[in-house]
Amino acid sequence: MTEAARVMVVDDDRAIRWVLERALAQPDLAVECVDRADRVLERLLESPPDVLVTDIRMPGIDGLDLMARVREAHPELPVIVMTAHSDLDSAVASYQGGAFEYLPKPFDVDEALALVRRAVAHARERQRPVHAPEGLDAEIIGEAPAMQEVFRAIGRLSQSHITVLINGESGTGKERVAQALHQHSPRAGKPFIALNMAAIPRDLIESELFGHEKGAFTGATAQRQGRFEQADGGTLFLDEIGDMPAETQTRLLRVLADGEFYRVGGHTSVKVDVRIIAATHQNLEGLVDEGRFREDLFHRLNVIRVHLPKLADRREDIPRLARHFLAEAAKELSTDAKVLTEEAEAHLTRLAWPGNVRQLENTCRWLTVMASGREVLVEDLPPELRDGDEGGAAGDWRLAFRDWADRALAAGHTHLLEEAVPDFEKILIETALKHTGGRKGEAAELLGWGRNTLTRKLKTLLPEMAED
């Protein structure tokens, strides 16, 4: 279950605090109301909330000063500024100071709630760390043959503006490859804008992509640019494109065809020059067959496809990746980098890594904090890895699967069945065919399926093996 978002309201008007405290009393929001900014400034700087809502005119530190101080330390924090209708100068100053939005008084409580929810969604989307790459080796690491193919693709596309579709399991580093494609393209000096389709509420996706006009919906108190406008001249990375709603797919197809769009609630077309890089862990061809993804949009996106291997298929890269992530974590936490012993390095290389590169990166961050000495022994690894076996071949697979589901949900993944079931069936099919020497009738019998069911599954999950 997603942790409740922390919202702090700062206003010296007791009535406003009372109204907002009750309006924002929702299961997914944890609200704190205070009457003076100077009483909470130190805490705000040390441990900021997910969203800050502040009045402008208050005794002591006013709202604009509070916003300036907090945003200096936490520039990504969305700040909603409350102003009186007549306080136009303050509203302008709010935007100039980097306010996410302003809320005019008197306000509608539903409008306030919708605005806070939008700020929360925005904050969570922006929380993913993005590191500016410095040359290909700093972006993505890989000596394995499968990764060398990825490097070659980046090189071949270095002078191109062509659309690219990246596919690979969750955690394989699709955004890093998208950044590398951008940095090694003619658009390198322009913006790289990323949007994860699975992380944005369905009713906010079109506003996030195309922007909105003032009054387009509850909480839209001013015109706002979408990601397409922000990426003008550069690259727009659409992660988890398979989760895009059908109506948004239609709008995206039109933008790709015409190069222009309308903001939500707008009547004037906006023209942009944007390169699209899309990514997914799903089987888009399967989604097309099921009618859940537009075939014409799939063909628009699938101009050049780059496949990222899972970490278990590039084990020779694990030691170098681990050293890189340990160094990054040490820099991030201002401490000395940990060093893996040969035994620990060999042990990590043999593990299954269902969470791929992201799981290895998080493990290195955990070791930087939790390992007691500078040298990391096998005994210093997290229990679930320390007791793991080579490639996960032995032991109770149900416990490993439960651990994977727990980690995926904790990382904010959604649609877990859509991610797990195809992989589960694919592994069983491949293993059964291996045991029968490729004889499909016998493999179907081993799996407890009819021959037709196996044929249908092969077409969806393993099209390269579907032909007799």
Check whether residue 403 and residue 383 sit in a common domain: no
- Does residue 303 sit in the same domain as residue 162? yes
Judging by DSSP bridges, how do beta strands 269-271 and 260-262 pair with one another?
Answer: antiparallel
Last residue of a domain, one of 307, 337, 369: 307
Look at residues 65, 94, 127 and tell me which one is the last residue of a structural domain: 127
> Are residues 416 and 328 both part of a single domain?
no
Q: Kindly list the distances between the CA atom of residue 289 and the CA atoms of 292, 294, 295, 296, 298, in Å, as whole numbers in the listed order.
A: 8, 9, 8, 12, 11
Contacts of 160 (CB under 8 A, 6+ apart): 185
Residue 84 DSSP symbol: E
Judgement on whether residues 42 and 60 belong to the same structural domain of the protein: yes
What's the distance, CA 301 to chain centroid? 19
Q: Which of 332, 331, 371 is closest to 348 using CA atoms?
A: 371
Q: What is the CATH number of the domain that holds 332?
A: 1.10.8.60
pLDDT at 388: 54
Per-residue pLDDT at 347: 92
What DSSP state is assigned to residue 183? H
For the chain, which ranges sit under pLDDT 70? Answer: 1-2, 84-97, 125-139, 216, 219, 387-400, 402-403, 406-407, 410-412, 464, 466-468
The answer to whether the CB of 273 falls within 8 A of the CB of 259 is yes
Residues 101 and 154 occupy one common structural domain? no
> Same domain, yes or no, for 16 and 121?
yes
Same domain, 273 and 210: yes
- DSSP sequence for 417-432: HHHHHHHHHHHHHHHH
Q: What confidence score (pLDDT) does residue 304 get?
A: 92
Count: domains in the chain: 4
> Does 179 fall in a domain?
yes
- Structural domain that includes position 72: 5-127
Structure tokens at 341: 């012993």
Spatial distance between the Cα atoms of 197 and 206, rounded to a whole number of angstroms: 10
Say whether both 105 and 10 belong to one domain.
yes
Q: Residues 236-288: pLDDT tens digits?
A: 999 999 999 999 999 899 898 888 888 888 888 889 899 999 999 999 999 99
Does 446 lie in the same domain as 347? Answer: no
Q: Are 7 and 40 in contact (CB under 8 A)?
A: no
User: Which alpha helices (H) appear in 127-260, and where do they start and end?
Assistant: 136-139, 145-156, 174-183, 205-210, 227-230, 246-258
The reported pTM is: 0.55
Domain co-membership, 298 together with 206: yes
Q: What is the CATH number of the domain that holds 14?
A: 3.40.50.2300
Does residue 138 sit within a domain? no
Task: Walk across the sheet containing 192-196 and list its strands.
Answer: 192-196, 235-239, 275-280, 164-167, 304-307
135 found inside a domain:
no
Written as six digits, the tokens of 175 are: 């955004």
Please list the residues that pair with 307 across neighbouring strands.
Answer: 167
Residue 365 CB partners (closer than 8 Å, separation 6+)? 325, 329, 332
CATH number at residue 445: 1.10.10.60
Do 88 and 172 have their domain in common?
Answer: no
> Which of 329, 359, 387 is where one domain is finished?
387
Chain centroid to Cα 445, Å, comes to 40
Amino acid at residue number 232:
D
Strand duo 304-307 + 29-34: pairing: unpaired
